[in-house]
């Protein structure tokens, strides 16, 4: 093969803008001899090894055929012998059936699928809670109301699983698979020592690590930092991430991995220290000194540093926030109704508008929240709620926070379309 770049993902250009900021789409690239990187929303890496191919991840189902077409047209006709899942998120695994069908059409043997042992329980949970995952992903990614990313997901279980580490060969070439709890509990990173190529999965994604996602299950900041440091110790020459462009150069990769590890470890250690001082979550969040996010791979365009801190607290602590009124509490709507009856909706909304005019959108949202819950027929409250979150969404770099803000806007617009009572 010769060094070349291909651009074959034109159909992906219809992604919503808030997704495009995170999901890098671009040309495939020969990053090293017989090593191809496909920037396909969730990236795919191909290792051609003496007439056999190992793939790392599949991308989302809609992009997998384009990856395969590009692979065959410009790089190799060798059969795909093995497919490694870096983790079980649907954007990394739902193209497996297309890869199996592709092998069948060519008369090749079915590729073996390798993943951590916790991939299968993840798939089981996705099937159990498919509609709930549809709902939260519509919010997180600002998807249309008819989107069914989990109900319609094609999940192909691994046929080879491992626990801590696994070595496998394809075409006589060694690949080392390592487990690392980080974004998920089933994360795998892949090291090809003969080529000094590292496939990180989502342990490195060109933005602030997704260690705090407010919509999803537990993340593991300290284990994640440990894994990044283990990767750095191998001195990779090429880094192929789960999202974002490939990175080459030993010194640059060291900086990327170690600064990301420091970012996570700093937040983790501060939360633990303050928990040991007997502090509750809201005070911990107020006191944390977040590490700099001045590197291009640490920008909070997807997750948010505060979300990471919250997830560290969740890992080690319970749900109690230190306020005895929140043990066996009344419903928030009932609390709001009493407050509105005492203070008056007009007074509360006037104060919320004053806060908005003083650029305190955060507090204005809290005050407006009381009225929209305590007096749900109050159209002025819903109008202010809509306007506040429209402004907050426009200013918010974190995709996850922006998704929640835009969901608030949509709810308010739906309420305002209802006939006035």
What stretches of 277-378 show up as alpha helix (H) in DSSP?
A: 281-287, 305-316, 332-343, 345-357, 361-374
Question: What's the length of the chain?
Answer: 421
**CA R_g for the chain:** 24
**Under CATH, which architecture does the 1-163 domain have?**
4-Layer Sandwich (3.60)
pLDDT value at residue 8: 34
pLDDT value at residue 122: 98
User: Which of 1.10.10.1100, 3.40.50.1360, 3.90.1150.10, 1.25.40.880 would CATH assign to domain 330-417?
Assistant: 1.25.40.880
pLDDT value at residue 276: 98
- Return the beta strands (E) in 221-273 as ranges: 238-241, 247-248
> Is the distance from CB of 209 to CB of 308 less than 8 angstroms?
yes
What is the DSSP code (8-state) at residue 303?
S
Note the pLDDT tens digit of each residue in 310-346. Answer: 999 999 999 999 999 999 999 999 999 999 999 999 9
**For 308, how many CA atoms within 13 A lie in the half-sphere containing its CB?**
32
Using N-to-C axis directions, what is the helix angle for 379-395 and 399-417, rounded to 10°? 160
3-state secondary structure of 9: coil
Smallest Cα–Cα separation from 21: which of 206, 183, 202? 206
> Is the distance from CB of 108 to CB of 79 less than 8 angstroms?
yes
* Ranges in the chain annotated CATH 1.25.40.880: 330-417
Expressed in percent and rounded to 5, the helix, strand and coil fractions of the chain are 45, 15, 40
- Distance of alpha carbon 251 from alpha carbon 9, whole angstroms: 31
Which residue has tokens 């509360």? 348
pLDDT value at residue 27: 84
Tokens of 243: 């999202």
The dihedrals phi and psi of 61, each to the nearest 5 degrees, come to: -50, -40
3-state secondary structure of 257: helix
Give 33-72 as a DSSP string. Answer: TTEEEE-BSS-EEEEEETTEEEEE----TTTHHHHHHHHH
pLDDT value at residue 372: 98
Quote the Cα angle for 309-123-78, to 5°: 110
* Ranges in the chain annotated CATH 3.60.15.30: 1-163
Binned average pLDDT, 10 residues per bin, the chain of 421 residues: 34 42 74 96 96 97 96 97 98 98 98 98 97 94 92 96 98 97 97 98 95 95 98 98 95 98 98 98 97 93 96 96 96 98 98 98 98 97 98 95 96 93 67
pTM (2 d.p.):
0.92
> Is the distance from CB of 45 to CB of 37 less than 8 angstroms?
yes
Smallest Cα–Cα separation from 172: which of 47, 1, 33? 47
pLDDT value at residue 419: 86
pLDDT value at residue 23: 62
> Is the distance from CB of 354 to CB of 367 less than 8 angstroms?
no
Smallest Cα–Cα separation from 53: which of 61, 42, 44, 62? 44
Q: Which residues contact 5 (CB under 8 A, 6 or more apart)?
A: 27, 28, 29, 30
> Is the distance from CB of 153 to CB of 94 less than 8 angstroms?
yes
């Amino acid at each position: 093969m010769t060094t070349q770049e291909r651009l074959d993902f034109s159909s992906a250009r219809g992604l919503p803008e808030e997704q495009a900021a995170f999901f890098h789409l671009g040309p495939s690239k020969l990053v090293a001899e017989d090593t191809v990187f496909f920037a396909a929303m969730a990236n795919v890496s191909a290792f051609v090894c003496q007439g056999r191919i190992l793939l790392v991840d599949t991308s989302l189902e809609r992009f997998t055929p384009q990856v395969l077409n590009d692979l065959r047209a410009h790089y190799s006709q060798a059969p795909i012998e093995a497919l490694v899942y870096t983790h079980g998120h649907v954007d990394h695994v739902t193209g497996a059936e297309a890869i199996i069908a592709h092998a069948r059409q060519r008369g090749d043997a079915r590729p073996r699928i390798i993943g951590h042992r916790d991939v299968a329980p993840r798939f089981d949970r996705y099937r159990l809670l498919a509609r709930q995952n549809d709902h939260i992903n519509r919010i997180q990614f600002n998807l249309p109301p008819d989107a069914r990313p989990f109900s319609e997901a094609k999940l192909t279980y691994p046929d080879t699983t491992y626990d801590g580490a696994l070595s496998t060969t394809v075409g006589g070439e060694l690949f080392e698979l390592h487990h690392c709890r980080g974004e998920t509990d089933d994360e795998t990173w892949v090291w090809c020592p003969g080529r000094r190529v590292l496939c990180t999965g989502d342990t490195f994604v060109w933005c602030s690590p997704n260690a705090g996602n407010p919509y999803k299950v537990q993340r593991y900041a300290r284990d994640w930092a440990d894994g990044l440091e283990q990767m750095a110790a191998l001195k990779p020459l090429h880094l192929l991430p789960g999202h974002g462009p490939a990175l080459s150069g030993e010194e640059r990769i060291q900086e990327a991995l170690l600064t990301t590890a420091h970012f996570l470890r700093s937040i983790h250690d501060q939360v633990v220290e303050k928990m040991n001082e007997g502090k509750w979550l809201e005070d911990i969040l107020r006191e944390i000194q977040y590490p700099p996010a001045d590197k291009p791979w640490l920008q909070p365009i997807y997750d948010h540093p505060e979300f990471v801190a919250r997830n560290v607290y969740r890992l080690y602590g319970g749900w109690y926030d230190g306020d005895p009124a929140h043990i066996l509490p009344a419903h928030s709507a009932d609390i709001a109704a009493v407050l509105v009856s005492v203070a008056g909706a007009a007074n509360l909304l006037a104060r919320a508008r004053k806060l908005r005019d003083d650029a305190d959108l955060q507090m204005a949202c809290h005050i407006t929240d009381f009225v929209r819950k305590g007096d749900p027929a109050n159209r002025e409250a819903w109008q202010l709620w809509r306007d506040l979150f429209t402004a907050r969404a426009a200013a918010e770099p974190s995709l996850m926070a922006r998704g929640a803000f835009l969901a608030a806007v949509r709810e308010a617009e739906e309420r305002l379309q209802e006939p006035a009572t």
